[in-house]
Structure 1
Amino acid sequence: MISRFSKAFLLIIFALFVIGSIALLHPPSRSYMDPWTGDFFGEGGVEKDLHVNQKPPSPPAKQDQSVHGGVIMAKLGNATAKAELGRATWKLLHTITLRYPESPTQDERDALNNYFHIFSRVYPCGECAAEFQKLLKKYPPQTSSRKAAALWLCYVHNQVNARLLKPEFDCANLDSTYDCGCGDSPVNSTPKSKQNSDPMDLELDPTRDRDTGVGMIRGGR
């Protein structure tokens, strides 16, 4: 007869065999229960299943949409504020183009081009911005060199002056009129003229001498 010890030993061996067989057929897995829904999360934990169930993040807006979008600002009804803003803005834009590199890289060209288009969206005068966007479509920014950028902006400036029935500005005097005092190379060699008034005041006639009223010879033609 088999002793009690032998029976217990055989029973333990059999139990271990059964447990081992189950382990081979069904490998252990970690599962987690959601206490609110009762759902189980499988191997990898809650984070993995939540990541799988989440919607993919929205792709960022394309650069073309943000650069070439519509006007953002509303109409500016204050005529005095509009005129002051215009004078300051033209001074900023002309100074930018007059400080632009002589031989820009492609990255620098893209930066200036994008700047003008973004500027046309966020300019505080909505109706002015809309007009500027029309000019950008008709006359795309020229960014190949400092001279090209400066003369392009001067041409666009004169298009605005013509629409507002203001006198045409002499593009040959850009470097003297908008000299920032930075000591950089000028666009042309025109000597700086004596000016006691604000050169950004577009109400003045730049084609005539401020003191005598005598018509000045137009250059660059």
Structure 2
Amino acid sequence: MSENPFEFMFKSLDSFSRCAQTHISNFLSPLQNKPSLKDKSALLKSVDVSLASTSFTKEKSATPLTKEELGRGTWALLHAIAAQYPDQPTRQQKRDAKELMAILSRLYPCKECADHFKDVLKANPVHAGSQAEFSQWLCHVHNVVNRSLGKLTFPCQRVNARWGKLDCKDRACDLQGTPDLK
């Protein structure tokens, strides 16, 4: 076990964050050969309008998450981690993936959900021998949880189409990352 059991999660979140920032900057920068300040201002206003129509409005951010919002966010993070998981993980990465699931089952903010996830993990031990194996295992486990909630299941053969690797320049989203060029 690594010194900090959250290290894997923090590195993944950092990588995901950097990738999102890259996508946003790529979206806002070279639009039709350097748009004028007026064009950029219009673009930013349209992004603001778009964001205002989502669930991330000021009123909404002042209220606690619902159990459903927390669940959707958690599954999105876990699927993103599984999509970026290496094809040939190190022993430490395999241990970290298993430990991340164990930590979630102990610290998840919804006790009922955490207890259920413990039971799901007992019946479905983590498989993290490769990216494909980890993604398929996670999809299967997500479907176990969805069935218990009376929700539709996802066809796991389509997991890469839905949750494939992030599209980041120069492999900047890989768990190993790339060296900083600063």
Normalised to the residue count of structure 2, the TM-score between the two structures is 0.55
The Cα of 1:147 is off from its aligned counterpart by 0.7
* 2:66 partner SS: helix
1:144 is the counterpart of 2:124: no
Question: Structure 1 residues 79, 176: closer, same or farther in 2, change over 3 A?
Answer: farther
1:163 is the counterpart of 2:148: yes
Tell me which residue corresponds to 1:96.
81
Question: Structure 1 residues 98, 125: closer, same or farther in 2, change over 3 A?
Answer: same
Instruction: Deviation per CA, 1:158-208: give whole Å up to 9, x if none.
Output: 101111111111112222222443366xxxxxxxxxxxxxxxxxxxxxxxx
- One-letter code of the match for 2:82? T
The Cα of 1:108 is off from its aligned counterpart by 1.1
- Structure 1 unmatched ranges of 5 or more: 1-62, 68-77, 185-221
Match of 1:174 among 138, 154, 159: 159
Output the CA distance in 2 between the equivalents of 1:105 and 1:88. 27
- One-letter code of the match for 1:89? T
Number of residue pairs matched?
110
Instruction: Deviation per CA, 1:74-120: give whole Å up to 9, x if none.
Output: xxxx9970011111110000111111010111111111111110111
Normalised to the residue count of structure 1, the TM-score between the two structures is 0.46
- One-letter code of the match for 2:168? C
Output the CA distance in 2 between the equivalents of 1:182 and 1:116. 26
Q: Which has the higher contact order (CA 8 A, sep 6+)?
A: 2
Output the CA distance in 1 between the equivalents of 2:147 and 2:78. 18
Tell me which residue corresponds to 1:33.
none
- Please show how residues 60-79 of structure 1 align to structure 2 within 5 Å: none
Higher helix share: 2
The Cα of 1:149 is off from its aligned counterpart by 0.5
- Please show how residues 181-220 of structure 1 align to structure 2 within 5 Å: 181-182=167-168
The Cα of 1:127 is off from its aligned counterpart by 0.4
Output the CA distance in 2 between the equivalents of 1:125 and 1:85. 9
In terms of Rg, which structure is larger?
A: 1
Tell me which residue corresponds to 1:108.
93
- One-letter code of the match for 1:129? A
The Cα of 1:145 is off from its aligned counterpart by 0.6
Which 4+ residue blocks in structure 1 deviate beyond 6 angstroms?
none
Tell me which residue corresponds to 1:87.
72
Output the CA distance in 2 between the equivalents of 1:157 and 1:148. 14
Output the CA distance in 1 between the equivalents of 2:163 and 2:96. 22
- Please show how residues 45-60 of structure 1 align to structure 2 within 5 Å: none
Match of 1:131 among 116, 119, 139: 116
Output the CA distance in 1 between the equivalents of 2:64 and 2:119. 21
Percent of residue pairs bearing the same amino acid type: 39
- One-letter code of the match for 2:127? Q
Question: Structure 1 residues 176, 131: closer, same or farther in 2, change over 3 A?
Answer: same
Output the CA distance in 2 between the equivalents of 1:169 and 1:79. 28
Tell me which residue corresponds to 1:57.
none
